[in-house]
Amino acid sequence: MASRISREKKRGPWVRYLMLLALLLIPSSLLSASSSNNFFKKAERYTVRVYSSTIVALEGAERGSWEGSGFVVHIDRREGVAYVATNKHVIDEGISSIQVSFKDGERFPATPIYIDPVYDFGMIKFDLDEPGVPANAASAELGRSSTVEVGHPVGTFGNPMSLEYCATEGIISSVTNSPWGCDGAFLQTDAAINPGNSGGPLISLRNGKVIGINTAVSDESEGIGWSLAVDQLKPVIEQVIAGELPYAGRMGWLGVNLEEINLDRAREDFGAQYGFNHPRKALLVIDVFPKTPAARSGLQPGDVIYLINWMMPQDYADYLAMMRDVAGQNCEMVLYRLGQEIELEVEVEDRGELRPKEYVTFAGMTIQSASPTVYETYSSVSSPECVFVSDVLEGSSAEAWGMYSGDPIRGVLANLKYHPVRSLDDFWNAVKDVAPGQSVEFFVGQPDNGWIVKVVYYYPSEAPWREEVEY
């Protein structure tokens, strides 16, 4: 017996060596596939399907129903709630009804609790005791998107094209490109992203952590999709969970359109005097909206923003991160104007506070005040001194007479009296006593390019009504 044990001991190192060699000879693709399977299996426990219906269209939202994805970022067992991250366009800008479901589970209600004033990001929450919440529901572990480089293996997970819980694999294609019309830092990937994937996780296939939120895809080419980088969202997520952010968030707002340009162009064409210390991209002021903080402070088209509170924004995404910290405050700005260095003190407004807090319905229209979201999105709305038609119901009197969503209203003629409209209060005072069958003339469009639309309603359901927004 002793001699047999001795022989086994002598043979042990060789056995271990052969086993190690066998492991090394296993194709890396098989090992990678095994890891991916584990990561996606875990994602089934924290990814949800989101069903959204917009009830009241505000801020350019549209009435309707659609589906998306989301993933659990925190579970509070003590309070009995779970918090889910998703895209803002899944929740929508208006007033929405939300339901969610886990894999193979029934739908249950969820509550929208946050939509970001700039990023395409939002959050919802649900009660853990709802039927349909599995006992093994988990929260995703967030990774570090700032350390991700081109070629990093990733996977998407979500509910594309009404198909449940689908996984795709790919790589990070770029860490600097962004989809047109979207703000913030993005990770570009060739992993398939389709309608319904929005709001789902982008997963690092090296460690299984979530590094992005799947957000957009190119309509003109295959293999080009984008996910919001998670690092910029971590502090927002923490603040929402802690109850420190209002529904519409906080964001410093100046009332300008900015464009990223390269440094050579900023120097040669706009007179920026960058030295050794310079940003990755220069920020050029394209437009300054009237009666806004930027206009009052003296910013002009052609200015190049250099410093904000003596800190240099490296690019537009970095600028947005800085503006969160100065919402509702005064800040010092240094800019270059045609070769001259200019210092300005700017009273920064809080964009989240400027969202509509109430709306008026009349003849099948929904009317709100003109907010930053509105007159940065619609060229027909060039200043806050008007109201905005955010929705026109199909089959309504307003539609029959030729009113359209997206129109600004600057004046109302009722009872042989003209009412200039600069606010929602002005509009309400002009229409609140209009009776069925009584005609109203609306002065629509911009002051130098407007038209007049007559509207008459006949049914009590279309009578003037004012409502507070409850988020």
- Report the pLDDT value the prediction gives residue 1, as an integer from 0 to 100: 39
Per residue in 338-372, pLDDT tens?
999 999 999 999 988 888 899 999 999 999 998 88
Give the residue among 303, 307, 282, 306 at the shortest CA–CA distance from 294.
Answer: 303
Q: Please determine, for residue 403, whether its predicted confidence score (pLDDT) is greater than 50.
A: yes
pLDDT band at 376; cut points 50, 70, 90: confident
145 phi and psi, to 5 degrees?
Answer: -70, -25
- Report the pLDDT value the prediction gives residue 179, as an integer from 0 to 100: 84
Q: Which amino acid appears at position 7 of this protein?
A: R
What kind and span of H or E run contains 285?
A: strand 282-288
pLDDT band at 8; cut points 50, 70, 90: very low
Are 214 and 227 a contacting pair, CB within 8 Å? yes
In angstroms, the CA 281 to CA 306 distance is 10
> Is residue 392 classed exposed, middle or buried when 0-12, 13-18 and 19+ CB atoms within 10 A define those classes?
buried
> Is residue 98 classed exposed, middle or buried when 0-12, 13-18 and 19+ CB atoms within 10 A define those classes?
buried
Q: Please determine, for residue 2, whether its predicted confidence score (pLDDT) is greater than 70.
A: no
**Average per-residue pLDDT in the chain?**
88
Angular region, 395: left φ>0, alpha ψ -120 to 50, beta rest? left
- Report the pLDDT value the prediction gives residue 128, as an integer from 0 to 100: 96
Mean pLDDT, residues 11-24? 45
Counting residues of the chain whose pLDDT is more than 70, the rounded percentage is 92
Instruction: Residue 434: count other Cβ atoms within 10 Å of its Cβ.
Output: 20
Counting residues of the chain whose pLDDT is more than 90, the rounded percentage is 63
Are 455 and 442 a contacting pair, CB within 8 Å? yes
Q: pTM to 2 decimals?
A: 0.80
Are 75 and 102 a contacting pair, CB within 8 Å? no
Which domains, and CATH codes, for the chain?
30-249 (2.40.10.120), 252-351 (2.30.42.10), 356-468 (2.30.42.10)
pLDDT band at 94; cut points 50, 70, 90: confident
pLDDT band at 449; cut points 50, 70, 90: confident
Give the residue among 257, 259, 255, 298 at the shortest CA–CA distance from 385.
Answer: 255
Exposure string for 393-410, b = 16+ CB within 10 A, e = fewer: beebbbbebebebbbbbb
Mean pLDDT, residues 237-265? 93
In angstroms, the CA 224 to CA 245 distance is 33
Q: Please determine, for residue 81, whether its predicted confidence score (pLDDT) is greater than 70.
A: yes
Listed in sequence order, the residues at least 6 apart from 91 whose beta carbon sits closer than 8 Å to its beta carbon are 52, 98, 112, 115, 122, 124
In angstroms, the CA 215 to CA 383 distance is 30
In angstroms, the CA 159 to CA 139 distance is 18
Per residue in 251-260, pLDDT tens?
999 989 999 9
Mean pLDDT, residues 191-211? 90
Helices (H), 326-446: 372-377, 397-401, 424-431
Are 230 and 143 a contacting pair, CB within 8 Å? yes
Mean pLDDT, residues 71-98? 94
Are 327 and 250 a contacting pair, CB within 8 Å? yes
Q: Please determine, for residue 123, whether its predicted confidence score (pLDDT) is greater than 80.
A: yes
Q: Please determine, for residue 24, whether its predicted confidence score (pLDDT) is greater than 60.
A: no
